[in-house]
Homo-oligomer: A and B are copies of this chain.
Amino acid sequence: MVRKKAKFEVEKGILLEHIQKAGLRRTSQRDLILEIFLGTEDHLTSEDLYSLVHKKDPSVGLTTVYRTLKLLTEAGLAREVGFGDGKTYYEHHYNHEHHDHMICTECGRVIEFFSPDIEALQDEMASNFGFRPTHHSLRMWGVCADCQVNTAESQSAPSGAQPRVRVKTAIN
């Protein structure tokens, strides 16, 4: 049986290492924020995560969440994503392989997908230009399968109100 206490051990180690290498300090706030961040499956803004953290420890400030999310990004534990609404969302890699996004403009659902063929073609295009890519972002906006059905009869769903749920898939 897998020990429950060992959850996020790897990630915690990564953060600690990054902190030590950079001459920074480990704090209870950073531990808590990382823990809660990894424990959710949504795409979160700093404000979103702040609300969650605040429930566990009301003394933690919004600014610290902003700063910590930046720190986690530097450590490679978080990735910034934009969905076109002007806010910055964060996602973690825990239980999620590298992927791209389809964003439903009706319900806000976010579908994660991955295509090794697309990745290969991207690299090929880059090398055509002598361009050395460090990271990339592929997003498709449109209407998801559910909303195509719903929109046909009723009026469009309350867009923007839904959380940015990570819909994981097995399709490659």
Q: How many residues of A contact B (CB 8 A)?
A: 34
Query: Contact between A148 and B126 (Cβ–Cβ < 8 Å)?
Result: no
Number of copies of this chain that the complex holds: 2
* A144 and B115 in contact, given A82-B82, A137-B137, A138-B138 (Cβ under 8 angstroms): no
Determine the distance from Cα of A102 to Cα of B132 in the docked complex, in whole angstroms: 10
A2 to chain B, nearest CB (A): 32
Query: Contact between B142 and A134 (Cβ–Cβ < 8 Å)?
Result: yes
Chain A positions 81 through 106: 1 when the CB is less than 8 Å from some CB of chain B, otherwise 0: 01000000000000000000010110
* CB-nearest residue of chain B to A133: B142
Residue contacts A-B, CB under 8 angstroms, 7 given = A82-B82, A126-B140, A129-B171, A130-B144, A131-B143, A133-B142, A137-B137
Contact surface of A with B, Cβ cutoff 8 Å: 82, 102, 104-105, 111, 113, 115, 117-118, 121-122, 125-126, 128-145, 148, 169, 171
